[in-house]
């Protein structure tokens, strides 16, 4: 753990100042202007030595790309609806066109966003770690657009389409003007492939995520409030199985006091910095 105050050297000028804390610090929520994160050498060494690494990402990583949250996207005519009217199976059964149009709107917002340096650093990390699992709670596909190959989408994808009745993924359908479009197999409604409120997570994705968390040596929890279950449980499972837990988040979360290291800053700044140090450490091994 290193804290430096006001001595931003030229080597680090490109980084915004932030603060790094380990769990030994009492004031784990403090963000002090003029301080910068020094990523501990021990953390870099552990990452360089790890064969199995998991990264769990949440809304903060998307927010850094300007993807509006569910609430933030509720502008204009959408502002009048409660979340339960737009993102539950019951809402879809009541007003399928409204719900479909809501997701069309959100797809246009996501299409305007681009992956940020945090997304790109994670796609590079995949190349550097023998077994790397990227688990995301985001539905915007930005990890894939940044080049990540193996992404486990715990809450589905806004760009996937499922048959509402059959639950199966549908890739093509006839564009006969029906909104929502109809399933080419059963003629039922098609729905967005995201996990709605009250729905369970996709079984296969959750099973893969749980296995990866239980088997990893190091877990990075990035830009997630660590409150939404069952994804929030994964770092605890990893820790119970002996993994080193590293949190990257600009503000304190429920996980912070349980993490072995906390890099208190945005993913778009912390991850590229960590990657640079990792490359150096790997080259020296
Ligand atoms: Zn169908």
Pairwise CA distance, residues 125 & 1, whole Å: 23
Residues 213 and 269 in one domain: yes
Tell me how far the alpha carbon of residue 188 lies from the centroid of ligand 1, in angstroms: 5
Residues 213 and 182 in one domain: no
- For residue 121, the enclosing domain spans 1-66+115-155+202-285
Q: Count of alpha carbons within 13 Å of 257, Cβ hemisphere only? A: 4
The pLDDT, as a whole number, for residue 28 is 30
- In this predicted structure, the answer to whether residue 257 has a pLDDT above a threshold of 90 is yes
Any idea which residues carry the catalytic annotation?
155
Tell me how far the alpha carbon of residue 164 lies from the centroid of ligand 1, in angstroms: 7
Give per-residue pLDDT as tens, 76-94: 999 999 999 999 999 999 9
Least confident of 8-12, 136-140, 170-174, 198-202: 8-12
Q: Kindly state the DSSP code that residue 12 receives in the 8-state scheme.
A: G
Residues 42 and 168 in one domain: no
Q: Count of alpha carbons within 13 Å of 47, Cβ hemisphere only? A: 28
Tell me how far the alpha carbon of residue 220 lies from the centroid of ligand 1, in angstroms: 38
Residues whose Cβ atom is located within 5 A of ion ligand 1 = 163, 166, 183, 185-186, 188
Residue 145 CB contacts under 8 Å (≥ 6 apart), including other chains: 114, 115, 119
Residue 8 binned pLDDT confidence (cut-offs 50, 70, 90): very low
Residues 57 and 169 in one domain: no
Residues 162 and 259 in one domain: no
Tell me how far the alpha carbon of residue 162 lies from the centroid of ligand 1, in angstroms: 8
């Amino acid at each position: 753990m290193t804290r430096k105050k006001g001595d931003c050297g030229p080597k680090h000028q490109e980084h915004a100042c932030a603060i790094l804390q380990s769990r030994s610090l009492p004031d784990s929520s403090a963000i002090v202007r003029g301080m910068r994160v020094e990523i501990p050498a021990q953390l870099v060494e552990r990452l360089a030595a790890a064969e199995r690494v998991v990264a769990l990402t949440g809304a903060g990583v998307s927010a850094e790309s300007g993807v509006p949250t569910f609430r933030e996207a509720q502008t204009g005519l959408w502002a009048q609806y409660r979340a339960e009217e737009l993102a539950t199976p019951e809402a879809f059964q009541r007003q399928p066109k409204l719900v479909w149009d809501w997701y069309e709107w959100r797809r246009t917002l996501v299409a305007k966003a681009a992956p940020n340096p945090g997304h790109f650093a994670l796609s590079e990390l995949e190349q550097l770690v023998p077994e790397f699992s990227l688990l995301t709670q985001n539905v915007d596909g930005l990890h894939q657009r940044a080049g990540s190959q193996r992404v486990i989408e715990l809450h589905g994808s806004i760009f996937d389409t499922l048959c509402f009745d059959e639950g199966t993924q549908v890739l093509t359908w006839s564009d006969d003007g029906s909104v929502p479009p109809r399933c080419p197999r059963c003629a039922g409604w098609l729905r967005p492939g995201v996990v709605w409120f009250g729905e369970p997570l996709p079984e296969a994705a959750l099973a893969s995520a749980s296995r990866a968390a239980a088997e990893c040596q190091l877990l990075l929890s990035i830009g997630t409030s660590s409150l939404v279950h069952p994804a929030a449980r994964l770092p605890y499972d990893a820790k119970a199985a002996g993994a080193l837990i590293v949190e990257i988040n600009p503000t304190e979360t429920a996980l912070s006091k349980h993490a072995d290291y906390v890099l208190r800053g945005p993913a778009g700044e912390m991850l590229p910095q960590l990657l640079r140090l990792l490359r150096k450490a790997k080259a020296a091994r």
